[in-house]
Amino acid sequence: MKIQYCPTPEAVPSSGQPDAAVVIDVLRATTTMGWALHNGATAVHVFAQLDALQRAAGAAPPDKRLLAGERGGQRLEGFDLGNSPVAVTPAVVEGKQLFLSTTNGTRALERVQAAPHVLTCSLNNLEAVAERLQTGAVGHGWIVGSGWEGGYSLEDSLAAGALLHTMAAALGSNPHHLCGNDEMIAAGALWQVWREKPEACLRLATHGQRLQRLGNHDADFRCCAAVNSLAVVPTQTHPGMFQLV
Ligand code: MLT
């Protein structure tokens, strides 16, 4: 197995496909997707464009849909939810379809939508994703960070490195033997530096600083930093639609 890390959607190769693509947006889209599906949402539909989200949501039964939208870290006006992982409780999402658009995470997901297998990962579900990749006979994988408007994301790279080390431990392999590019090697080193204090890394990151400026997001940081607190693998079952399988 060789894993390439693409720190942003723009870094994804313009040609070719991996056996599987894993998209990471620790703060907060893929963390939120994991908790929403764990808490009983029947599906999460992801959209980079808001007009496409509104059209799709309009076709769903009103009592079975929730609109979740964020831009710049803040909830969009007129949406049921923003993008907080602690807001998608069972009481809110059980039995509902989520229609989600975020600043970067949903754009990253659309960028790799054509891959044979698309999964989402955060710090919460590293072991579950590593097991899926191992049992899925993945020979060549991409890990794609969501970044911020085309820029590098410390927190997404941290989780990419964490996934690399989790996969290496599961395979009994040296992590460097799994690395398909320098970016993957660097992400692995980042995890070795911060693995004992992931929340501090999230708060230090540019987007973590942005969220702290926007208000008290302590519960979000605790949730996003909780390593292996979830055993779910959000999986693309149809283009742009994620479920537990
Ligand atoms: C993103 O898409 O960049 C993030 O999910 C933004 C956020 O929810 O803070």
The listed CATH number (3.20.20.10, 3.30.450.40, 3.90.1560.10, 3.90.1170.50) that belongs to domain 2-230: 3.90.1560.10
Tokens of residue 16, six digits: 């070719």
Residue among 8, 27, 203 whose CB has most ligand 1 atoms within 8 A, to mutate: 27
Q: Is 156 in the pocket of ligand 1 (CB under 6 A)?
A: no
Nearest CA to ligand 1 atom 6: 73
Q: Could you tell me the residue ranges of all domains in the chain?
A: 2-230
Q: Please give the pLDDT value at position 136.
A: 85
Q: Which atom of ligand 1 is nearest to the CA of 210?
A: 9
pLDDT in tens, the chain (245 residues): 999 999 999 999 999 999 999 999 999 999 999 999 999 999 999 999 999 999 999 999 999 999 999 999 999 999 999 999 999 999 999 999 999 999 999 999 999 999 999 999 999 999 999 999 999 888 999 999 999 999 999 999 999 999 999 999 999 999 999 999 999 999 999 999 999 999 999 999 999 999 999 999 999 999 999 999 999 999 999 999 999 99
Q: Is 104 in the pocket of ligand 1 (CB under 6 A)?
A: yes
8 Å CB contact between 166 and 122? no
The pTM for the full model equals 0.98
Instruction: From residue 170, give the alpha-carbon distance in Å to each of 108, 119, 138, 160, 219.
Output: 27, 18, 14, 15, 30
